[in-house]
Amino acid sequence: MDTEAELTQRGHSSPDTGEGRPRFALWGRRALPGWRAFLTWRRAGVLGVLCTTFLLLISNFVVQPFLIPSRSMEPTLQVGDRVLVNKLAYRFGDGPKRGDVVVFDGTGSFVPERAEGNPIGEALHGAASALGIGEPSDTDFVKRVVGVGGDDVVCCDAGGRIKVNGVPLQEPYLYPGDTPSKVPFRIVVPLGTLWVMGDHRSQSRDSRDHLGEPGGGMVPVEKVIGRADWIGWPVPRWGPTATGTGAATGSSGGGHG
């Protein structure tokens, strides 16, 4: 009798046998998948942060995607294209050349200086733009370099062509049916600045539209973000942007701004 009572008592009190172990094992089986899911999501979150940080670093210093928001560079670039902007193109002593397609900050030249807004909102918008998933800043523009520092740019000659340092430009990139410019002008580009125009001249607000404003429509070279070398999206449009096409050859003056 004593042995039977001892076994009965042990069966209710021992954590190793009877009802105690199944409860523990059941809790463990329920908890373990939850911990595994938590660890999986945690790893995924850390990996996502690392990838985003890496992409932002690449975007800030090497190559930045840029979403084309308007028709001003058709047919070279179309609305919705994402171009890859080479930020190293002008970092080692080289400068923008005639014919280069560049992305630049137009603050102070194309748009007036403005008061700072919400820093958090601007930071989030800047990050989205840098990753190519958001609209570009309304101060960023993409245009083609027509004149660099020291160039004499005239529109137009008897054949309706723009002349740079007396040499007519051949501009095969112009939008079909567009003239080189309906606005006559003659300017000498100050050193350290650029004269830029869109390829779709009738749809482009460019240096011509700011002739009478402070700066005269000239873009300071230090405001250039980089050179738009490649169309990265959509896939059917993969390819170079034909940077440099149509630059005046044999003209006097330097090739850099």
* Catalytic center residues: 72, 143
* Cross-strand pairs, 228: 85
- Structural element, H or E, at residue 22: helix 20-61
Residue 9 to residue 171: CA distance in whole angstroms: 98
| Amino acid (1-letter code) at residue 78 | Q
Contact of 180 with 171, CB cutoff 8 Å: yes
Residue 186 to residue 118: CA distance in whole angstroms: 41
Contact of 197 with 208, CB cutoff 8 Å: yes
Residue 85 to residue 99: CA distance in whole angstroms: 15
Three-class SS of 164-199: ECCEECCCCCCCCCCCCCCCCEEEECCCCEEEEECC
State in Å, rounded, how far the first CA of the chain is from the last one: 106
